[in-house]
Structure 1
Amino acid sequence: MAHPQRGLGTMNNGILPNHSSTVEEKKHRSNGSISWTKPVSLPIPGVRTRRLRIFVPNVASFPHLRSSRVRRTRAPLLCFVCLALVLTVTFVFRAHGSQKWSESWPPSTGDSSTLVFRREDLQRIWKWEIASGHYPSHEPIPKQIGLKTPPINPGVPYQKRIGRPSRYRSPTEDFDTDTYGVGPKRVYLENQSRYPNVAYPPRPVPGSVADMDMIMKHCNFSTGKYVRDCLEVLRIGGGLDNGRRVRRGNTDDWQYIYQEQASNSTEPVYDVNPDPILQHNLPSTTGVDGKVDADAGLYRKRGAEWEAQVVLPPTLHHRPSASLPTPCDPENPRVYHMFWTGPFTDKPYLALLSFLFTQNTGIHLNNYPEDSLVCRPQFWMWINPGPAASVPNPTALRDMYTQLKESPWASPFLHPRFKDVIQFKLWNTTEQLDGVPEIKDEWRDLQDTLFNSGGHVISVPAQKAKESTTVSASGNGTVVTSTKKPDEEDLVNRTGSKSSSSYDRLSVILSDMARFVLCHRFGGIYLDADTIFLRDWEELWGWKGAFAYRWSRLEKYNTAVLRMHKGSALGTFLFRTALKNGLDFHPMTVSLYTADAHLENLLLRLPDALFDSAWLNTENFQRDRPPQPYFTEFAEFFDTPAQNSAAPQALGFDGFFKGAYSYHFHNFWWKPFDPARNWPDLGPRFKAGEDTARAILEMENKLKIKNLKTKDTKITEILSSKSLEDGAETESVESDKRDLDWSAVLKRTFESYLRGERPNMYGEWLQW
């Protein structure tokens, strides 16, 4: 039987289908409708990197043109098409006149360009950072920057340059530009404990530096390196495997920490004249006016103008730590920043505890020596007292300290013992943005769209008190107008994340911007509040470059850890670029900023093994050889699977991603670290805060209210409750959880150090 549908489906204006085979018929039917036009790509004279894309009539769209009768007479049609192409090209060139083709937009596929800086300014930014010692790397400068003379680099040691003979290089070959190293010599260290002090690993040598080129060599996911292997290199090269090292071959190649030798004599002047073979042949376009476009190959942001010539401060002077008059470099302040919104909880509490447990703060000394050779780090906890979109009131600073004193999680850090290393600071968005010279006169034009994350803008309406009208209960008809507070559970008025469904997204977006503001204004390293320190960061401070870390498998940034210099050229670039892109500081957007400008090496993207060792495993990568511990999802930090639940207590802190600098547990703000002992357990000196937290917890359990709003109940009322007069019940081991999770083990480890029951990870006892 015939297939009528096949015939009907292919009939067009009475013409019956004419297919030589069923394969041809199937191909024709699957194509559906055919476009009347098709694109043709033509080369543009004088522009090697761009092609002209035009649309011409699609002969295949006319069925009658495919007949055998027309095929014999299509020569005139081809002539017509060629004539149309010539006329189109002529029209386009006349219409554009002297327009520069390099300013055309990039292909429509993928993300549009964010670039607003010319090549000349990008060169100046590179030169400023290199001359200031902020590029202690042997990686070359991308050829798109177009530097014809190799810059002098004081961040890398002097090495005689051996140029490639010109006979082996094409005269039109494009290539990256190396730098001339003129810096001090590097001496790589084997930092190991010596008998009899062998119970704990040694502190890093003051002034030591991490060789990031070496770390990238052993840890780069793009070259197939495993997190497990990277952590072994990090702990052996850092001397953290104290007492647990098994015999290996020669591990000199794993020594990634060095010291720079200070020179006692005048530094020699090296010949840095341009090497003739280093002259670039960049893409250039000559317009009809005969001028050469210096920005050829760069794609400007659609609809934006080029930035005016960038104004940069004088370059800094790179000096080895041994030649500094004091242990701390005034141009490189050793400050950790953290941003927090809403009530203080166990999350920033544990971040501060881990800071005291790992960093060289000297709090174990009753009197810190004035002649110490150690640069003592500081931790600045920035508090945004209300919702992210609110405006602080005039008494905000006083109110902040009142709340900190009443908070059981924050009050311990107000103890005089910590005053030189932990400081609480009030965040004021207006004040902070006004303190950034690059945007202070323009950011208010964007204040209605200030909460911009990855191009997704959350509009924040002006805060207005809600009024309601009620009739007096006395029945006299009196109308009473009352004022209600804004709904604290809506997106705008949230202060903290109480669950996965009530997530404080505005605070997260604000923190995306705050980290760049703080690092650019004050210098230092920013860390997200869901970060736990795992070792001393001495050698990270010694490395003078800027860095963030990698977004798992993607070659994008995660700025949960961000290091930048105060008032740097890189910071100027980022703020001016962000201003022209809606003040968007989402890490994915920042990745576009640096990629479009070819500045990625100035903000080094370190492997996530250093700060986020579980991330690849949680995304189903490297599960054939995972690190210890093995997390298939971040929630396992808080709820360790039963089959692996012996590891936390058996291995303890030393078994938790040993070698990594920190751990990022990715949110879970609503999940307590230690549900069985969800209070600060710091000993008799801080018993008042402990009693308050335990009273609140007991009240919650007694009332069986999961979402109890303790901030609406005065602490004194809770403590005076009749149900609490007899005090807490006697603790017993039976009331504790049998198999402790990793989060609980780390919390109890840090707390035992502050109680004076154990030393910190470097064997230093806190004497009260």
Structure 2
Amino acid sequence: MNGDLPSHSSAIEEKLERQHRSQASLSYWTRPVSLPIPGVRTRRLRILVPNAGPFNRLHVGRMRRKRGPLLITLACLAVFFTVVLVTKSLGHSDWGDQWQQGSSVEPSTLVFKRMDLQRIWKWEVASGHYPSTQPIPAQIRLTKPLMNPATPHQPPSVKPSRYRQPGALDFVTEIRGAGPKRVYLDIQSKPPNVDYPPRPVPGSVADLDHIMKHCDFGKGKYVRDCLEMLRLGGGLDNGERIRRDDTVDWRYIYVEQADNETATYQFEDTTAEEQAPLFRKPAGRKVEDPNEGLLKKKGAEWEPKVVLSPTLQHRPAQSLPEACDPQNPRVYHMFWTGPFTDKPYLALMSFLYTQNTGIHLDEWPHDSKTCRPQFWLWINPGPAAAVPNPNAVRDMYDQLKSSPWASPFLHPRFKDVIQFKLWNTTEQLDGIPEIKDEWRALQESLFNSGGHIISVKQKAPPTTALSGNASATTTTTQKADEDDLLNRTGSKSSSSYDRLSVILSDMARFILCHRFGGIYLDADTILLRDWEELWGWKGAFAYRWSRLEKYNTAVLRMNKGSALGTFLFRTALKNGLDFHPMSVSRYTADAYLEGLLLRLPDALFDAAWLNTENYQRDRPPQPYFTEFGDFFDTPAQNSAAPHALGFRGFFRGSYSYHFHNFWWKPFDPARNFPDLGLRFKAGEDIARAALREEKLKSALAAKSKLATGTNTVVAVVPTPSTFEEELADLTESDKVDLDWSIVMKRTFEAYIRGERPNMYGEWIKW
């Protein structure tokens, strides 16, 4: 045996041996010092201080010989840390980059007392807006279980006494289901009709708890696996169900049994939690602060008792007298500023191609079991910081009629499903009862995103009925610089980004959902499947900001006049009316209300995001994007996929795709006009003529530069004959390999032209 190995007869001796070694090592590097204790003459305090002896004996001599290199090393370290500190203090000028630093040291935004947070939770649960079995945060400190009419009945569970805190009331974190039973569906096309997937079952509901189980990035789930589950569970793998394993656990769509009685629970305006102490009072101690553990916003006062509307009644879709639930309006909202382009055009086209709009029927049946969705496109006339004129509505429709990208949607065939609406900031803010009497105090700092404020002051009092608008006004004699930040209408390039409109849209989405209900979509979004079962989930949701546990509100679902909306608007008002997604993330986290605004995985709405940030590249989904620009310029090594796979091969299973800006990048450079056939030829001709004229001017300008040998552009006015000659050379042919953006646009347009069915095999009827 090796003599260096210790031999102990018991674990106790081994422990003592290790303790002896650690004490010996400690005595080598420390030495005891005795200090007098004030007021005690007979005793002294013994402490250990560093022992510099070993260090001096062993290393002082060597350090003297290496003093020069040591000083140089210390100087380099000092310079390095100085640069780091200066860079961190200066930060970045772009407000969007600040959020990458995290929010661990950010100040609290909370202005609601605990009793109001309890009331908000109770209101949402009683109204059926929490179809989840996830527990309520313990920090809410409920003392009675809540009855949830949106989850199936379940027996009460009693926590064993050994898990209860001694001397404390029982804080309830779970919610007791009391709603109808759920039947999970096996959705798939039936042979031989397997060419297209079936439409979702009317009134069906997506179990978002179950989706989180398979798709949560925070628990190591892959987007690729999530999309497969969404495809199979949603019946989108029509005729291509290759897996033979048991996929029962992938069924995430259910219907509620209408014959099961659902109890109605009234909201208690005065709760037991407001009256009873949170802990039993120990002998000789004061009663605990009811808001103990909550961190209030610095310098702010607690909100007065929150005023909430009467609770709603949760009812299964099958028990409703009509297909549409008046409490749950099925409306998509989108906000747009500036000239109408191919971006909102593609969003509307994807809506017609995927949703059950009824344009494949002669007319919508009055006894239909399906609720017909609508798309409301909100138009903000002119720059974001401008007041609409008295004729704004008429001017808006005149511009829509003259726009080749917008005019097709004014066709009578679409009048029941697509509506254009005028956005008015003043009218919209006045329509929010929670802030209508107070928001004007913030009118000069209304453009607030993440605490970064773009000040817009009124230059002159407006003369119209919109005098309360918080935006700046312009005189008729003043010529606005179109490229100025305050006067931009849309983002024409990456260098002339319309930031004011983006900030305004951050607020607009919450206003629209709180006033009207429905789902808000960013304009850089295209729909990829029917959202029937998402409408069935009556809770509020957004989705995850890539790898961060924050919200991205490019997709936002909220209920009309909800308690959650009241909380968000009152909190935002006390925080500068800031509706940046990261700010909203702080609001809900500080108040322990994140469960009421569910943060869904990226895979449902933004399946490429994690890959673009260098995550999950070992098993990426199809298609494989390493940056968002790949949607418009597909890399050569992947460029066979768009034309070969088409719409079916594009993130199959996702509900939508978010291509993250690129407003200035055309979907289809070779055919940058609406290609909808003879029915809309007039608008197409206008777009073609404008495109040709633009190309001709660019070509002639380039020739003029070459002729003069300078960078000065010489104006050349083409004659008609010259114009036609130049057009022959300007005709742009298709790329050899079509990009994904081109395939999406041409697929949607072929459906409107009547050359192919939509994604569910339905042909349009004119």
Match of 2:431 in 1: 435
Matches of 2:700 and 2:582, distance apart in 1: 36
Does the 8 A contact of 2:520 with 2:555 survive in 1?
Answer: yes
Matches of 2:308 and 2:721, distance apart in 1: 65
Secondary structure in 2 matching 1:754: helix
Deviation at 1:196, TM superposition (A): 3.3
Matches of 1:182 and 1:735, distance apart in 2: 62
1:21 maps to 2:55: yes
1:583 maps to 2:589: no
Matches of 2:686 and 2:356, distance apart in 1: 31
Matches of 2:655 and 2:402, distance apart in 1: 32
- 1:751 pairs with 740, 749, 752, which one? 749
1:644 maps to 2:642: no
Matches of 2:563 and 2:734, distance apart in 1: 54
Does the 8 A contact of 1:286 with 1:292 survive in 2?
Answer: no
Deviation at 1:268, TM superposition (A): 10
Does the 8 A contact of 1:553 with 1:616 survive in 2?
Answer: yes
Match of 2:100 in 1: none
CA deviation profile, 1:272-296 (whole Å, cap 9, x unmatched): 9xxx9xx999689999993431000
Matches of 1:484 and 1:435, distance apart in 2: 32
| Residues 46-65 of structure 1 mapped to structure 2, 5 A cutoff | none
Deviation at 1:305, TM superposition (A): 0.1
Secondary structure in 2 matching 1:352: helix
- State the AA in 2 paired with 1:252: V
1:535 maps to 2:529: yes
Match of 2:696 in 1: 702
1:121 maps to 2:83: no
Does the 8 A contact of 1:628 with 1:655 survive in 2?
Answer: yes
1:457 maps to 2:491: no
Does the 8 A contact of 2:612 with 2:626 survive in 1?
Answer: yes
Does the 8 A contact of 1:113 with 1:302 survive in 2?
Answer: yes
- State the AA in 1 paired with 2:139: Q
Deviation at 1:269, TM superposition (A): 10
Secondary structure in 1 matching 2:544: strand
Secondary structure in 1 matching 2:292: coil
- Of residues 289-298 and 150-159 in structure 1, the stretch that sits farther from structure 2 once superposed is 289-298
CA deviation profile, 1:299-340 (whole Å, cap 9, x unmatched): 000000000000001100000000000000000000000000
- 1:138 pairs with 105, 113, 133, which one? 133
- 1:156 pairs with 151, 164, 173, which one? 151
- 2:506 pairs with 508, 512, 515, which one? 512
Match of 1:623 in 2: 617
Deviation at 1:110, TM superposition (A): 0.6
Does the 8 A contact of 1:496 with 1:504 survive in 2?
Answer: yes
Does the 8 A contact of 1:338 with 1:381 survive in 2?
Answer: yes
Deviation at 1:199, TM superposition (A): 1.1
| Residues 392-411 of structure 1 mapped to structure 2, 5 A cutoff | 392-411=388-407
Secondary structure in 2 matching 1:297: coil
- State the AA in 2 paired with 1:421: V
Does the 8 A contact of 2:333 with 2:378 survive in 1?
Answer: yes
Does the 8 A contact of 1:523 with 1:566 survive in 2?
Answer: yes
Matches of 2:700 and 2:295, distance apart in 1: 54
Match of 2:221 in 1: 225
Secondary structure in 1 matching 2:634: coil
Does the 8 A contact of 2:696 with 2:726 survive in 1?
Answer: no
1:287–1:671 CA distance, 2 compared to 1 (3 A)? farther
- 2:556 pairs with 537, 562, 571, which one? 562
Deviation at 1:24, TM superposition (A): 8.4
Match of 1:471 in 2: none
Match of 1:664 in 2: 658
Does the 8 A contact of 1:211 with 1:256 survive in 2?
Answer: yes
Does the 8 A contact of 2:222 with 2:616 survive in 1?
Answer: yes
- State the AA in 2 paired with 1:140: P
- State the AA in 2 paired with 1:122: L
Does the 8 A contact of 1:433 with 1:517 survive in 2?
Answer: yes
Matches of 2:284 and 2:498, distance apart in 1: 55
Secondary structure in 2 matching 1:116: coil
1:691 maps to 2:691: no
Deviation at 1:31, TM superposition (A): 11
CA deviation profile, 1:98-146 (whole Å, cap 9, x unmatched): xxxxxxxxxx961100000000000000000000000000000000001
Match of 2:736 in 1: 738
Deviation at 1:161, TM superposition (A): 2.4
1:541–1:699 CA distance, 2 compared to 1 (3 A)? same
- State the AA in 1 paired with 2:738: L
| Residues 235-314 of structure 1 mapped to structure 2, 5 A cutoff | 235-263=231-259, 290-314=286-310
Secondary structure in 2 matching 1:147: coil
Deviation at 1:255, TM superposition (A): 0.1
| Residues 2-401 of structure 1 mapped to structure 2, 5 A cutoff | 20-21=54-55, 110-171=105-166, 177-263=173-259, 290-401=286-397
Matches of 1:147 and 1:179, distance apart in 2: 10
Match of 1:598 in 2: 592
- State the AA in 2 paired with 1:652: G
Give the aligned CA root-mean-square deviation in angstroms: 3.3
- State the AA in 2 paired with 1:766: I
Deviation at 1:425, TM superposition (A): 0.1
Deviation at 1:262, TM superposition (A): 0.8
Matches of 2:456 and 2:658, distance apart in 1: 30
- State the AA in 2 paired with 1:239: G
Deviation at 1:249, TM superposition (A): 0.9
Matches of 2:298 and 2:283, distance apart in 1: 21
Match of 1:760 in 2: 758
Matches of 1:358 and 1:579, distance apart in 2: 38
TM-score by length of 2: 0.80
Matches of 1:325 and 1:268, distance apart in 2: 18
1:505–1:684 CA distance, 2 compared to 1 (3 A)? same
- Of residues 173-182 and 400-409 in structure 1, the stretch that sits farther from structure 2 once superposed is 173-182
Secondary structure in 2 matching 1:704: helix
1:719–1:350 CA distance, 2 compared to 1 (3 A)? farther
Unaligned runs of 5+ in 2: 1-50, 76-102, 462-475, 703-716
1:285–1:573 CA distance, 2 compared to 1 (3 A)? farther
Matches of 2:676 and 2:722, distance apart in 1: 25
- State the AA in 1 paired with 2:377: M
Deviation at 1:731, TM superposition (A): 11
Does the 8 A contact of 1:146 with 1:280 survive in 2?
Answer: no
Deviation at 1:461, TM superposition (A): 3.1
Secondary structure in 1 matching 2:486: coil
Match of 2:94 in 1: none
Matches of 2:53 and 2:74, distance apart in 1: 14
1:648–1:170 CA distance, 2 compared to 1 (3 A)? same
Deviation at 1:630, TM superposition (A): 0.3
Counting matched residue pairs gives 646
1:731–1:234 CA distance, 2 compared to 1 (3 A)? farther
Secondary structure in 1 matching 2:440: helix
- State the AA in 2 paired with 1:110: V
Match of 2:3 in 1: none
* Sequence identity (%): 72
Match of 2:42 in 1: none
TM-score by length of 1: 0.79
Matches of 2:278 and 2:412, distance apart in 1: 60
Match of 1:96 in 2: none
Matches of 2:208 and 2:276, distance apart in 1: 28
Matches of 2:59 and 2:231, distance apart in 1: 64
1:268–1:665 CA distance, 2 compared to 1 (3 A)? closer
Matches of 2:553 and 2:260, distance apart in 1: 39
Matches of 1:449 and 1:678, distance apart in 2: 38
Does the 8 A contact of 2:123 with 2:311 survive in 1?
Answer: yes
1:631–1:225 CA distance, 2 compared to 1 (3 A)? same
